[in-house]
A and B are shown apart, each in its own frame.
Chain A
């Protein structure tokens, strides 16, 4: 993985030194909050409902064990003993003191991490497939390109004051695990005539105006990637609606101007600026980055213990059935560690759990960990024969919940329990749904299902692309929850359809149960997933189950 060089270290050290001085000046009164706020946001520091929140970037979701241990140390020393992994592969600390933040940033820098551009109207942390360089279905590891984009976008002088925040996701696999179609720019690696390049998708996004991105160019060669991105962001920087923050994202720019006009402007800008880029130097740098991300040596391993464990241990088999993913190397697997224990807070890991996972990564996974946009952690390279021992260690720490991809593997934003923007809570709704489906012993019968919950219209919980999406709102001073059905964040991305009136806080879990039971009644057989059944049947039978029963209950 990428290692900071001397330039990176000096750059981060200088940024941290500047921020320490800014904090000092805020406290001694030299800076007002109005002056300080944009400075703290440039370093990932928000003020939330109960405390400050520091958002730390985990570029393309890749961590080494030393970094995860340091994240655990920060949680112990400066926070309340846990961290929250987010849908953009960041980690958030919910309780830091303002005066401790410069020390936290220095501690992050010691292991090559930072909080730069995790906030503000700039290009945010580049996200990617959590299975990069391990997945059997991958064309190529997208992370060297993600790192190239990170270096290009960090402190890019033209893009520090964009009309709004700007999010880029990249995948090297045709099976999209990075939700590329719901990003300002989505990059999907493709091959044309033996050459690697990118399908470039623009103008996707969720929030109050959810849109699926559109293909602006079906093939951009690797050599043109940076100038093409610069042309898109530069065009957006000029066209974007600074007069109205709700219309400022590039999805609105594309919608209002039309894809053809935006494409024409981007192509013209690309032709103008491409010669200014040194393609040779970029290629050389990319080659160096690829060396840093070189595929690990995975020697052949026996897999007898894995097969024995599957045969004799039902708990292991259930976990293996849900939490493993095919690896490109024979005899190896990708392991997703669920951060969704039934009744737990989605995406939270304690300091002890983070330290344990770092240790297990060293022992079983070449010291590498990934963060998924679905708020889980991943060990990307584990020998099948090590899985029984790994499972035992995870189980002892409460980290072996066998629910990845199932009903209780819920994405939930922090909601009104933490977020100053939220209009209702998300976390307790996720906790109660997870506990309920576990108590009913339904989720393994239901099979693959993505439930996503947002506590406000900004849709940080990706509810629009949940198979079942839940949006928490404030209706006349009371929490109320709208349901959408049929959303999909995959390569076939679709925005879900709202079912009808929302549900009170104490009615949302029974409402979800009615949808699940309707699916179990309606599906052709166990092989038909919830999403397939919804696409076959449409919304009506699910709406009938949702609202008819409610009317009967009220009668």
Chain B
């Protein structure tokens, strides 16, 4: 059985909406986890985080989140990131409402 690869992504909340966003490969902020840039190298991830932290006019509270890269793409390594990915349990008011 193939082990999922541990990776890191840069995540934050958007400044105006407060939405959960991830840093994409093209340097934009995406609202889709599957479009996030997955870093396998810790130094690369740290550099990306430091650069993202400079973009205060776009986002708030950047940090590195642990993910796993499996056959179906990026999966959160912790349930907190899973809730950030999909939105709250009680209403389809978060990202789950966006399909």
Collect the chain B residues with CB atoms within 8 Å of residue A479's CB. Answer: 79
Select the stretch in B2-10, B12-20, B32-40, B44-52 that faces chain A: B12-20
Main secondary structure of the interface of B (DSSP, over half): loop
Assuming the contacts A49-B84, A50-B88, A80-B91, asked whether A99 and B16 have C-beta atoms less than 8 A apart, the reply is yes
Select the stretch in A4-12, A25-33, A118-126, A494-502 that faces chain B: A25-33
Collect the chain B residues with CB atoms within 8 Å of residue A52's CB. Answer: 18
Assess the B84–A33 pair: CB atoms within 8 A. Answer: no
Quick one: which of B56, B79, B80, B90 contacts A428, CB cutoff 8 A? B90
- Considering only residues 51-89 of chain B, those with a C-beta below 8 Å from chain A are 56-57, 60-61, 77-80, 83-84, 87-89
Assuming the contacts A33-B61, A50-B20, asked whether A431 and B90 have C-beta atoms less than 8 A apart, the reply is yes
Size of the chain A interface, CB-CB below 8 angstroms: 29
A351 vs B91: C-alpha distance in the bound complex, in angstroms? 15
A47 vs B59: C-alpha distance in the bound complex, in angstroms? 11
Collect the chain A residues with CB atoms within 8 Å of residue B80's CB. Answer: 416, 474
A33 vs B12: C-alpha distance in the bound complex, in angstroms? 13
Assess the B83–A416 pair: CB atoms within 8 A. Answer: yes
Assess the A428–B89 pair: CB atoms within 8 A. Answer: yes
* Chain B residue nearest to A99 in the complex (CB): B16
A508 to chain B, nearest CB (A): 14
A47 vs B95: C-alpha distance in the bound complex, in angstroms? 17
Interface centre among B13, B15, B88, B95, by most chain A C-beta atoms within 10 angstroms, is B88
Assess the A29–B57 pair: CB atoms within 8 A. Answer: yes
Assess the A47–B13 pair: CB atoms within 8 A. Answer: yes
Quick one: which of B60, B79, B84 contacts A50, CB cutoff 8 A? B84
A431 vs B90: C-alpha distance in the bound complex, in angstroms? 9
Assess the A417–B19 pair: CB atoms within 8 A. Answer: no
Collect the chain B residues with CB atoms within 8 Å of residue A47's CB. Answer: 13, 18, 60-61
A97 vs B87: C-alpha distance in the bound complex, in angstroms? 16
Assess the B88–A418 pair: CB atoms within 8 A. Answer: yes
- Considering only residues 466-481 of chain A, those with a C-beta below 8 Å from chain B are 474, 477-479
* Chain A residue nearest to B57 in the complex (CB): A29
Assess the B18–A427 pair: CB atoms within 8 A. Answer: no
Collect the chain A residues with CB atoms within 8 Å of residue B13's CB. Answer: 47, 51
* Chain A residue nearest to B94 in the complex (CB): A50
Assess the B56–A417 pair: CB atoms within 8 A. Answer: no
Assess the B57–A51 pair: CB atoms within 8 A. Answer: no
A442 to chain B, nearest CB (A): 23
A98: Cβ under 8 A from any B Cβ: yes
Assess the B18–A51 pair: CB atoms within 8 A. Answer: yes
Assess the A427–B56 pair: CB atoms within 8 A. Answer: no
Collect the chain A residues with CB atoms within 8 Å of residue B78's CB. Answer: 477
A residues apposed to B, CB below 8 Å: 26-27, 29, 32-33, 47-52, 80, 94-95, 97-99, 345, 416-418, 425, 427-428, 431, 474, 477-479
> Can you name 11 A-B pairs with beta carbons within 8 Å?
A29-B57, A32-B56, A47-B13, A47-B60, A49-B83, A50-B93, A97-B18, A417-B89, A417-B90, A425-B89, A479-B79
With A95-B18, A97-B18 already in contact, 9 other A-B pairs whose C-beta atoms are closer than 8 Å: A33-B56, A47-B60, A50-B18, A98-B16, A345-B90, A416-B79, A427-B90, A431-B90, A477-B78
